[in-house]
Amino acid sequence: MPKVNLSHFEAAFLFSLFTSVVMGITSKKTDKERLHYGAYCFGCFLVALFAIAWVMKLGHG
Amino acid sequence: MASQTQSAAPPKEAVPPVSVWILPVLAAWIIPGGGHFMQKRMGRGALIFASVLLMFLFGLFMRGMMFTPDSSGDVLTKLISYGGFVCDLANGALYFLASMFGYAAPDMPGAVHDYGTKFLVTAGLLNILSMVDSYEIAVGKKD
């Protein structure tokens, strides 16, 4: 079985992508709403990812 | 006077019969997206299938740990092991195939293994969302 060594950013990016796709599909009723919600979730994940990364960097010096 | 201020209770929603939704929900559990395929929602089913499968495979490739129910330890340990086990089990056939082929990564220290464990658990949680969606489609609450 192949072994994958992802960086934290790569792992978080893939996590965000897959989670956003499923949340978009399962949460809304029309395709347009699904697309918008999926993109919104993905954007929120990425903003949180960068924001928390900066907080940790500044917190640890 | 009192009768004017009291509003009538909303009528209770009828519980849909089990026979309507049980097969799509079981199909969604066994094969991610299977409930959608069964109800002719091919595009959505394919996206769910790809997302859950890829997340599960990345979890395996990062040597994530599969939880086993463990009744030893304190309440938090039990909660984590049982909760993790239920989430892993929610992957359906992917979990059973991985177990059948002898996948059993130990709980090792290291960030990558830890990400893998989270990927395996989250794949199961996403599959639970797809099961709920299949249920709603089957009972007519959703298109």
Tens digits of per-residue pLDDT, B90-107?
999 999 999 999 988 777
Provide ipTM, 2 decimals: 0.91
How many other C-beta atoms are found inside a 10 Å radius of the C-beta of residue A23?
A: 20
Q: How confident is the model at residue B82 (pLDDT cuts 50, 70, 90)?
A: very high
Percent share of chain B, pLDDT over 90 = 73
What's this model's pTM, rounded to 2 decimal places?
A: 0.89
Q: Which ranges constitute the DSSP H helices of B1-143?
A: 2-5, 18-30, 34-38, 42-61, 75-89, 93-100, 111-138
Contacts A15 to B, Cβ<8 Å: 55, 115, 118-119, 122
The predicted model gives B7-36 an average pLDDT of 89
In this predicted structure, the answer to whether residue B3 has a pLDDT above a threshold of 80 is no
Q: Which of A3, A16, A31, A42 is nearest to B55 (CA)?
A: A16
Partner-chain contact A25 B47, CB within 8 Å: yes
- Which residues on chain B are in Cβ contact (under 8 Å) with A14? 54-55, 58
Q: Which two tokens stand for residue A56?
A: 């940790």
CA B40 centroid distance within chain: 20
pLDDT confidence bin for B128, thresholds 50/70/90: very high
